[in-house]
Structure 1
Amino acid sequence: MVGKRHRDRDPASEATIVDERQVRRAVAAAAIGNTMEWFDFGVYSYAAVVISQVFFPAANPTAQLLSTFATFAVAFLVRPLGGFFFGPLGDRIGRRTVLATTMVTMALGTLSIGLIPSYATIGVWAPVLLLVARLVQGFSTGGEYGGAATFVAEYSPDRRRGFMASWLEFGTLTGYSLGAALVTVLTVTMSQDDLLTWGWRIPFLVAGPLGIIGLYLRFRLEESPAYQDSSEQGEPRAAVRSFRTIFRGHWRPMLKCIGLVLVFNVTNYMLTAYMPTYLTAVIGFPHTAALAMVLVTMLLVMGLIVVLGHYSDRFGRLPIAGVGSVALILLSFPAFLLIGLGTTAAVVGGLLVIGLSLICFSGTMPATLPALFPTEIRYGAVSVGFNISVALFGGTTPLIAEALVAATGMPTVPALLLVVAGVVGLLAVWATREPAGRALPGAKPTATDRQEARERVEEEREREA
C-alpha cells in the first residue's frame, strides 16, 4: 500500500523547480564576489614589485619580494578563521546575509590598502597597516568562496550545475585579468615616480564601487531553495551545534575536499600570483613584458572554463579533473623548461600548459566541492575545508616557490610543487564519487520545469533501487 501511494504521487512534487532567471541572478551575485576578490589578487600579484618598494625598507630586491609575498601569504593563514566563523554562520542564519557581510568586509580591506601611507612617510607602520588590511581581506575571504559555491550549487538544476557553477571561476579569472590589465596599463603609461607615489593606489580604490555593486546584487536575491527547505525542517540550527558535526561525522569528504582544493589552488597561485614575478626576477624579462604574457595566457584560457563546466555536466567532473592532475604530473617540468628558453613564444607556450591544466579544475571544482556535504553543514564544511587547504598549500605557493629558487638556484624547481599537487589531486579524484547529474546530498532533485523534475525524481529512485 505504501509502495502504491509512492508510485501514484506526482514525481514533480518531490523535486525543486527553479526559475532560470533567478538562477542566472544567483550566479551573477555570487560571481561578483569572486571577481572582486581576484581583482585584488591580480593587482597585488602584478604590483608586487612596486608594493615591495612602497611598504618595505630598501634592501636587496630578493628580501623585499620575500617580504611582499610573506604579506600575501599571511592573509591566507587567517582564511581558515574566516571559514570557521562565516561558514557555520551561513548554515545557521542564511547564505545571503553572510555573503553580503563578506562582500562589504572584503571591499573595505582592499580599499584601505589604497589609503595606507608609504614606508617613507610613516616608517614601520606602513607594513604593519598593510598586514592588518591583508588580515581583514583574508578573514572575509574565508567565508566568500565556500558560500558562493554553495549558493550557486543549491540554486542550480542538477543537470546544469557544472555549467552554472563554472561561472564563479570565470568571474575569478575576469577579476584577475581586470586587475592585471589595470596595473599593466598604469605601468606602461605612468612614470616610475608617479607609479610609486600614487599610481599604484588606483586599482585598490576601485574596490569601493565594486563592493557596492556586489552588495546590491546579493540583497536582491532570496535564499537558495535547498536552504529554505532545510530551514523549514529546522535542520540548519540543529545541525551546527559544534565543529564535531563536520570533522567527526564527515572527515572523509573533508579530506577529499582538502585534496581537491590543494591541486586546484597550488596550480592557480603558481600561475596567477607567482609567474609575473618569476618571469622578471628569474627569467629576466622586463616587468611590463612579464605582466603582459601572464595576462595574455589568462585571456586565452578563461573562456574555456565554462566550456569545461558544460561538458562536466555531460561526461562528469572527475574525468576532467583527473586529466588536469595527470597533465601536472607529466607536463610541469617540460612547461618550466619551455619557459626557461626565454623567448616570448616559448614562455607563453609554457604558461599555456599550466593554464590549460588549471582550467580542468576551475571548470569543475565549484560544482564538485558543495556535492561532498549535506545541506545542513554545506556552507561551513566547504568553507573550512577550502580555506584550510588554501592557507596551507595555495597562498604559500609563491613564497615557497621563491624560496626554493633562491635556495637551489634551479629555475625549474617550482615545477616540483605542481607535480606533487598533481599526485594529490589524482588520489582525491580517485576517492571521490562522481556528482554530475545527481541531487546534492540532503536536497531534493532540482530542475527547471515539471517534466525535467519528473525525470530527475525517477533517476534518483532508480539509483536508490
Structure 2
Amino acid sequence: MDTTPYHAKQNQLASQPTDRAEQRRAIGAGIAGYILEWFDFGIYGFLAPILAKNFFPSSDELTSLLASFAVFGVGFVARPVGSLVLGRMADVKGRSITLSITMMLMAASTVAMGLLPTYAQIGAWSALLLVIARVLQGFAAGGEWGTAAAFLVEWGGANRRGFFGAFQQCSIAAGLLLGSLAAAVMSSILSSEALFAWGWRVPFLLGAVLGPIGMYVRRRVHDSPTYEQHQASAKRIPHKVFAKSVFRAFSFLIFWSVSSYMVSVYMPTFASKYAHVSRPQALWTGTLSLATVMVVAPLMGALSDRVGRKPVLIASCMFFLLFSYPLYSFIVSGISFWAFFWTQLLMNVVFAMYSGAGPATLAEMFPTHVRSTGVSFGAGLAAFLGGYSPFLTTWTISVTGAGANAGWLLAASALLTLPVLFLLKETAHERSLQ
C-alpha cells in the first residue's frame, strides 16, 4: 500500500512497460522546449542593471536597481494564476498541448521586451509596458514549471523517475546558462555605451528565432502512457486533502525557489556590485556554474532513485542553512576572482543536489489527474518568494550596509523548508505513480 495521503485507500495501477526509444524521443523533445523557454525567462535577471538604467533612470543607482528587481518579481506574482489556468489545462487536455501554449506565450512576451521603447523615448509608459510583458512571462512560467515536472517524471516509469525528472532542472539550468552566456558575450564584446543603447535588446529578440523552434519541437511530443492510463480511472480528490498537499509542496519549494535565484540568477549582479569581481567575470562564472548544474542535477536525480529522495534533499538544505552566511561573507571579503569562481561553483553543485531530486519528489506528492495543477500552484506560490529574493537582498544590504547579510536570507529559506523534508514520506522506491 502506498504511503502518501492520496494513496492510502486506493489500489495502485500496475506500471506499464514503456519503449525506451519512445522515452528518449519524448524527453529529448521536451528538454529542447524547456531550454528555449527558460532562456527567455531568465535573461531579464542577467540584464537587470542595464534595464534599470533604461526603464527606471534615477540619480541613485541603488533605487534604479531596486525598481528593476521589483519588476523582475512582478513576473512571479502572475505565476500562481498561470499555474491554476494552465496547470488545470494540462491535467484535463494533456501535458504536450499545454507546453506548446506556454512556449508561444513566453516567446511573444520576450520579443516584446526587446522591442519596447525606453524611458528616454516615452517616459513612464515604458515601465508600464515592461511590467505587462513581465506579467505575461510569469503567467506562462506558472503553467510551465509544474507541467514540465509532471511530464518528465511520468515518462520515467517505475524506477527512473528521479533521473528523468532531474532533466527538468537540467533544462532550466541550460536555458539560464544560454541567457547568462548571451549576457556575458554582449558585456564582453560591446562597450558600456553600446550595451546600454541597443545591445541589451539582442538577447530578448532571439526569442523571435527560438520561440518557433520550441513550438515545432513540442508539437511532436506525446503524453506519457501513465497520463493516458490514469485519465480513464481518475478519482475525485477531497479539497482539504488537495490543499494540504499544495501547502506541503509550497513549503518544500521555499528553499528551492530562493536558492535558485540567489545562487544562479542574482549572483552575477551581487558579485559585480559587492565583491571585487567585474561584471563580465561574474557572468562568465555564472555561466560555467550553470553548466555544472546541468551535469550534476541528473546524477543527483539518479542517486535519489537508488538511495531515496530524502537523504539527498536534506543534505543540500542543511548545507545552505549552515554555510550561507559564511560563504557570502567570504565572497564580499575581497577575495580573488578564482576564489569567487570556486565558491560559486561549490554553491551550484550543492544546489544541484536539491534540484536534481526535487522534481520527482514533487510529482510523487500528487495523483496524475491533478499533478500538474498541484505542482504548478505550489511552485507558483513559492516562486513569488524566490522572484523577490533579489529585491529583498538588495534592500537588506542597503539598510544594513553589509553584503554578507544576503546569506541570512538564503539560510532562512533553508530553515523554513527543512522541517517539511524531515516529515516527508519516502516515495522513491514505489513502483508506480497513482
Is TM more than 0.5 here? yes
Q: Aligned pairs, how many?
A: 421
Structure 1 pair 185–118 and aligned structure 2 pair: CA distance change class (3 A)? same
- Deviation of 1:246 after TM superposition, in Å, equals 6.8
2:363 to 370, 393, 397: 370
Matched, 1:412 2:409: no
- Residue in 2 aligned with 1:135? 135
Matched, 1:310 2:297: no
- Contact residue 112 and residue 133 of structure 2 kept, 8 A: yes
- Residue in 1 aligned with 2:327? 335
CA distance in 2 between counterparts of 1:332 and 1:90 reads 37
- Residue in 2 aligned with 1:206? 206
Corresponding letter in the other structure for 2:357: T
- Contact residue 160 and residue 305 of structure 2 kept, 8 A: yes
Q: Deviations over 1:417-441 (max 9, x none)?
A: 1211222222111121112132454
Larger deviation, residues 212-221 vs 369-378: 212-221
TM alignment of 1:285-296, pairs within 5 A: 285-296=277-288
- Deviation of 1:349 after TM superposition, in Å, equals 3.1
- Contact residue 305 and residue 428 of structure 2 kept, 8 A: yes
- Contact residue 27 and residue 168 of structure 1 kept, 8 A: no
CA distance in 2 between counterparts of 1:40 and 1:25 reads 24
Larger deviation, residues 270-279 vs 294-303: 294-303
Runs of 4+ in 1 over 3 A off after TM superposition: none
Structure 1 pair 374–440 and aligned structure 2 pair: CA distance change class (3 A)? farther
CA distance in 1 between counterparts of 2:247 and 2:90 reads 21
Matched, 1:387 2:408: no
CA distance in 1 between counterparts of 2:29 and 2:40 reads 18
Matched, 1:167 2:167: yes
Larger deviation, residues 40-49 vs 114-123: 40-49
Q: Deviations over 1:52-95 (max 9, x none)?
A: 11112233100110011001001001100001111112111111
CA distance in 2 between counterparts of 1:246 and 1:57 reads 51
Matched, 1:346 2:339: yes
CA distance in 2 between counterparts of 1:402 and 1:139 reads 25
- Residue in 1 aligned with 2:265? 273
Structure 1 pair 427–329 and aligned structure 2 pair: CA distance change class (3 A)? same
Matched, 1:119 2:115: no
Corresponding letter in the other structure for 1:163: F
Corresponding letter in the other structure for 2:201: R
Flag the structure with larger Rg. Answer: 1
- Deviation of 1:203 after TM superposition, in Å, equals 0.7
- Contact residue 246 and residue 381 of structure 1 kept, 8 A: no
Larger deviation, residues 30-39 vs 255-264: 30-39
Corresponding letter in the other structure for 1:359: A
CA distance in 1 between counterparts of 2:119 and 2:168 reads 36
Sequence identity (%): 32
Corresponding letter in the other structure for 1:327: F
CA distance in 2 between counterparts of 1:373 and 1:126 reads 41
- Contact residue 267 and residue 354 of structure 1 kept, 8 A: no
TM alignment of 1:13-412, pairs within 5 A: 14-233=14-233, 235=234, 239=236, 245=237, 247-342=239-334, 343-391=336-384, 393-412=385-404
Corresponding letter in the other structure for 2:228: Q
- Contact residue 170 and residue 295 of structure 2 kept, 8 A: yes
Q: CA RMSD in A?
A: 1.8
Structure 2 gaps of 5+ residues are 1-12
Structure 1 gaps of 5+ residues are 1-12, 240-244, 443-465
- Contact residue 246 and residue 377 of structure 1 kept, 8 A: no
- Contact residue 186 and residue 199 of structure 1 kept, 8 A: yes
CA distance in 2 between counterparts of 1:429 and 1:30 reads 29
CA distance in 1 between counterparts of 2:231 and 2:327 reads 49
Larger deviation, residues 427-436 vs 60-69: 427-436
- Residue in 1 aligned with 2:7? none
- Contact residue 41 and residue 273 of structure 1 kept, 8 A: no
Larger deviation, residues 147-156 vs 221-230: 221-230
Larger deviation, residues 372-381 vs 215-224: 215-224
User: Structure 1 length as normaliser, TM-score?
Assistant: 0.87
CA distance in 2 between counterparts of 1:101 and 1:246 reads 29
